[in-house]
Structure 1
Amino acid sequence: MTSLSISNALKYTLIVSLGGFIFGFDASVISGAIGFISEAFQLTPWQQGIVVSAPTLGGLVATLIAGPVADAIGRKQTLLMTACLYFVSAIGSAFATSFEALVIARFIGGMAFCSLMVAPMYIAEISLADQRGRLVSVNQLNIVVGLFISYFTNYFLLQLSHSEAMWVSGWQIDTQTWRWMLGVEALPALAWILLLLLLPRSPRWLLMKDQQLEAKRTLTRLFGSNNAQQQLDAIQAALPKLQLSSLSLARKMGSLFSKRLRVPLMVGVVLAIAQQVTGINVVFFYAPTIFEQSGIGTDAAFMQAIWIGLINVVFTIVALLTIDKLGRRPLLLIGLTGICFSMALCSWGFKQASYQLNTAHIAEIKTEVADFPAHALAPILGQTFTSDVAFNDAIKQRLTADEYRQYKSVIFAHSINMPAKLVLLGISLFVASFAMSLGPVMWVMFSEIFPNAIRAVAISVVGVINNAASFTVQLVFPWELEYLGASTTFLLYSLFSLLSFALVFLFVEETKGKSLEQLSESLEARAG
């Protein structure tokens, strides 16, 4: 019976978590495309932030309604809708003809980000207690694989765009590289749509809708006839406390904010904010930009980003293997310690940087860029800047807006003197720490800590908070980098992670090894 349980639960988990792969790809592919997009549409720093963060805003809007929708039509149908949104967004982004059209297309794709809350919910509802942490973490593993693959495809397309092959120019890969970067997502999105048709509906959702026969058939497919009856009895025993079919949305919201659910709601809010304010999406979405700021150049920046993606995959696997053994809380505390230290390390690394352009640098740049406007920068030749903000301002004042966007990367690469390897070490440690803690653990705990009947609505609420924090962090990052500087920006993330550590230490308790129904009872008991 056990092999049947693992086989079918894992099969459905892998199908559902393909959405995690698409999310990871969608969220990160913009890191390679934003430079080309900025040049094509002549974007300001704020407009760059809007392009990058538009999906998060879409996710924020969709998450508001995803919980009630998942309760009304089921987890499976909600996931099918999100898969279609991903497909439409990929096509729309690839063919966008303006800044506004691109933002709208990416906003539509962002609405599919609500799959991040629906997928863990579905996986948790088809899992046994001793497997739940690992299976829900498979979704996070697919997210980081998607992140990694997006870095690889960006680098591949970037290299391909330099090719002189006729078919490259014929398909406009050389001149419309960013469109290919964004459009290739349509392929996995279409595959996900087709695979989702094979899923059974969630047995817990079916029982809460009084569809007992189909629920029992699904439980039998998952766990075998003997275990299925045991699971059915346990779920049904918990249902009379809060029957889904008898509750309106207003009553569910009222129940969520009641005294007895104060503890799980507080834990959810702490995790939702902590996951974003430590800077994770900034690192993934802007990885090449960060590395360019350290002076290693565009192509090298893409290679470093691929390295970061690989680390993310490896340490997510570490989390997957340990989350049901060590538990959720220890992983969170270990990870936040590493995040705090790594962001402080990055801050210190950028603080040591100095910037100076001289005639030798200009000569080197001219070998790469024949029409480089060297005369415009003559007044600052030989000057040493100890602040990236001051150096950036000096460049900006002496170049046109188009020249600044086009040549900023190459100027920084040749003029900076800093411990770039230290920054790479810091970001690598940060990604490793996040991947084994906040990345998978937040979604696992979201799927565990709320009662069956209001789980969808509750995850919507904390998901909205998570998306709002993510949107804010992404939106202000280009502004922070330009006006506060890299050192101060990373220091802020380090301080936020220290605060998050304190909150997790005080309020988050262990959830491993308990059924969803047992967790509901114990967390409600803590609230008194």
Structure 2
Amino acid sequence: MADYTEANTPKAGNITAFDEANKAAARLIKPKTLLYTSALLTWLQPFQSGWSTSQMNLSQYNDTDECNARPVAEDTCLMFPGHSKLEWTFAVNAWIFGAMVGSLCCGHFSDKYGRKTSLMGNCVFMIVGGVVQASVSNVWLFALGRLIAGISSGTATATIGSYVNELSPPHMRNTLGLGLQIFTTIGILIPAILFFFANTSSGWRYLAAFPVVLAVIFLLLAPSMCVESPAWLLTKGRKEEAKEVIARLYGEEHVQTALSWLEVSKASTEEGLIDATPKTESMFAPRYRMQLLTGILLSCAQQLSGINAVFYYSGSIFSDAGISDSRVGTLIIYFINIWPAFFTGVLANRFGARNMILWGLSGMVVMSVGMTVAFIVDVSALSIVFTALYVIVFGVTLGPLVWVMTADIFPDSIRASASSLCIGINWLCNLIVGVSYPYISDA
């Protein structure tokens, strides 16, 4: 958890620390509906990220033997008939590359223009990416659409954790922070259900276009149902606006308590007022070195665990395991993937996030060995069991906790830029797995 340092109140000469009394008062706060609508609407964007993860994961879109056949038989290799393995790998991973770019670049815009404004601007990439993917007839242009959609996904994953963390009272941050992972997993699941209806030569176009709907919903509702981060407003010296937002989130009577937990610029005048000229801090400052290293290692561990090889290519994995309809195995895995995150908050509070992550890594190693043995001995039922257990262990540990901890370990002054770097490295590791897996699996 982040350290909550002394924060200045709007009253001259009166500095309110986030002491035990204020911690107790904070736990009694019942947020207004606006807090939940702000979080819920922003979670539409990680839903798009999950959607993009699985939208191409139907073996009929990319059966290697069928796509290599000449001529390509009717109702086979449904997406861009005759495409090569290289073209398909490029199309899948262009989205990941775009996400890496988006996550690395969004910190600057989030710090300059605010979290809410950045997320609204992010919808432009969602719309353009969806339109391009749904309308083109060339795999390389489709990959371009994937790249644009990836910029949106990267921006969302790097921004929303910070945004929800800054809106939430301290005792609710772990719980609300799990929303990013939960909505990502729901976004992964829904296309797997639709594969039973979208296994046609045009069905994939509807899947590609759906994120446009999510973006339009966000743009229509966010102006009235989302607020700007009060922590960001305070770092910009916009004290009165921050107080108004806090009042809308928690009520006028809780403004002072909320100000006590929000970290603002440490510079203050002799009267105890917030300095209206915010000072920029570097995430590379020596005092933040350990937090930054921790965030980077967590991001690498999440992706290099290999979880997204399961999500990107589970259709091919189960086909190779001899399962006649790979959609069934894929649907089972995606459905299982949703539920573990609902228990993460309780377990993390009981055992600690650090222990949960260490146990998760150990469990995933064991399940990986089991998956490998199941494939070698060619027992398809066993391969599904170990893959499902692998996903469960990930879903209750590394999956949700990395997003929560990455947002929580940094102070407000560097949260956007530091989270941006960590999530950018997360996507880089994701790209390494996504590009290498198809070739490793054929080795």
Shared topology, TM-score over 0.5?
yes
In the alignment, the residues of structure 1 paired with residue 320 and residue 161 of structure 2 have an alpha-carbon distance, to the nearest angstrom, of: 36
In the alignment, the residues of structure 1 paired with residue 276 and residue 413 of structure 2 have an alpha-carbon distance, to the nearest angstrom, of: 5
The amino acid of 2:364's aligned partner reads I
1:437-448 superposed matches below 5 A: 437-448=397-408
Alpha-carbon spacing, 1:316–1:152, altered in 2? closer, same or farther (3 Å): same
Q: Which has the higher helix share?
A: 1
Alpha-carbon spacing, 1:236–1:40, altered in 2? closer, same or farther (3 Å): closer
Is the CA contact 1:277–1:470 (under 8 Å) kept in the aligned structure 2?
yes
Offset at residue 234 of structure 1 (A): 4.0
Alpha-carbon spacing, 1:3–1:261, altered in 2? closer, same or farther (3 Å): closer
Is the CA contact 2:265–2:413 (under 8 Å) kept in the aligned structure 1?
no
Percent identical residues: 26
Residue 91 of structure 2 aligns with which residue? 51
Residue 390 of structure 1 aligns with which residue? none
In the alignment, the residues of structure 2 paired with residue 52 and residue 136 of structure 1 have an alpha-carbon distance, to the nearest angstrom, of: 28
The amino acid of 2:365's aligned partner reads C
Alpha-carbon spacing, 1:449–1:482, altered in 2? closer, same or farther (3 Å): same
Greater mean alpha carbon deviation, residues 219-228 or residues 102-111: 219-228
In the alignment, the residues of structure 2 paired with residue 247 and residue 480 of structure 1 have an alpha-carbon distance, to the nearest angstrom, of: 49
Residue 212 of structure 1 aligns with which residue? 239
**May I ask how many residue pairs the two structures share in their alignment?**
396
Alpha-carbon spacing, 1:39–1:80, altered in 2? closer, same or farther (3 Å): closer
In the alignment, the residues of structure 1 paired with residue 245 and residue 79 of structure 2 have an alpha-carbon distance, to the nearest angstrom, of: 52
Instruction: Check if 1:271 corresponds to 2:298.
Output: yes
Alpha-carbon spacing, 1:347–1:75, altered in 2? closer, same or farther (3 Å): same
Offset at residue 245 of structure 1 (A): 5.5
Alpha-carbon spacing, 1:235–1:243, altered in 2? closer, same or farther (3 Å): farther
Is the CA contact 2:186–2:338 (under 8 Å) kept in the aligned structure 1?
yes
Is the CA contact 1:41–1:98 (under 8 Å) kept in the aligned structure 2?
no
In the alignment, the residues of structure 2 paired with residue 38 and residue 460 of structure 1 have an alpha-carbon distance, to the nearest angstrom, of: 36
Is the CA contact 1:137–1:440 (under 8 Å) kept in the aligned structure 2?
yes
Tell me which of 109, 123, 137 is aligned to 2:149. Answer: 109
In the alignment, the residues of structure 1 paired with residue 314 and residue 276 of structure 2 have an alpha-carbon distance, to the nearest angstrom, of: 43
1:200-224 Cα shifts (integer Å, max 9, x gaps): 1100000111111110011112222
Is the CA contact 1:87–1:185 (under 8 Å) kept in the aligned structure 2?
yes
Tell me which of 292, 309, 315 is aligned to 2:340. Answer: 315
Structure 1, unpaired ranges of 5+: 159-173, 353-417, 484-528
Largest Rg, 1 or 2: 1
In the alignment, the residues of structure 1 paired with residue 278 and residue 349 of structure 2 have an alpha-carbon distance, to the nearest angstrom, of: 34
Alpha-carbon spacing, 1:240–1:101, altered in 2? closer, same or farther (3 Å): same
Tell me which of 458, 467, 486 is aligned to 2:427. Answer: 467
Alpha-carbon spacing, 1:177–1:244, altered in 2? closer, same or farther (3 Å): farther
Offset at residue 304 of structure 1 (A): 1.3
Tell me which of 213, 233, 240 is aligned to 1:187. Answer: 213
Structure 2, unpaired ranges of 5+: 1-25, 63-75, 269-273
Alpha-carbon spacing, 1:180–1:39, altered in 2? closer, same or farther (3 Å): closer
Q: What TM-score, normalized by structure 1, do the two folds share?
A: 0.71
Is the CA contact 2:308–2:430 (under 8 Å) kept in the aligned structure 1?
yes
1:212-239 Cα shifts (integer Å, max 9, x gaps): 1110011112222232212214436663
Offset at residue 16 of structure 1 (A): 1.3
Residue 65 of structure 1 aligns with which residue? 105
Is the CA contact 1:90–1:182 (under 8 Å) kept in the aligned structure 2?
yes
Instruction: Check if 1:138 corresponds to 2:179.
Output: yes
Is the CA contact 2:265–2:278 (under 8 Å) kept in the aligned structure 1?
no
Alpha-carbon spacing, 1:9–1:326, altered in 2? closer, same or farther (3 Å): farther
Residue 329 of structure 2 aligns with which residue? 304
Alpha-carbon spacing, 1:326–1:240, altered in 2? closer, same or farther (3 Å): farther
In the alignment, the residues of structure 1 paired with residue 285 and residue 401 of structure 2 have an alpha-carbon distance, to the nearest angstrom, of: 25
Alpha-carbon spacing, 1:39–1:214, altered in 2? closer, same or farther (3 Å): closer
Offset at residue 471 of structure 1 (A): 0.8
Alpha-carbon spacing, 1:152–1:39, altered in 2? closer, same or farther (3 Å): closer
1:445-466 Cα shifts (integer Å, max 9, x gaps): 1111112111111011111111
Offset at residue 244 of structure 1 (A): 10
Runs (4+) of structure 1 moved beyond 4 Å?
36-39, 241-248
Alpha-carbon spacing, 1:136–1:480, altered in 2? closer, same or farther (3 Å): same
The amino acid of 1:93's aligned partner reads Q
Instruction: Check if 1:21 corresponds to 2:61.
Output: no
Instruction: Check if 1:339 corresponds to 2:339.
Output: no
1:112-261 superposed matches below 5 A: 112-113=152-153, 114-158=155-199, 174-197=200-223, 198-235=225-262, 239-240=266-267, 246-247=278-279, 252=281, 255-261=282-288
The amino acid of 1:422's aligned partner reads L
1:331-378 Cα shifts (integer Å, max 9, x gaps): 2122222211111111111222xxxxxxxxxxxxxxxxxxxxxxxxxx
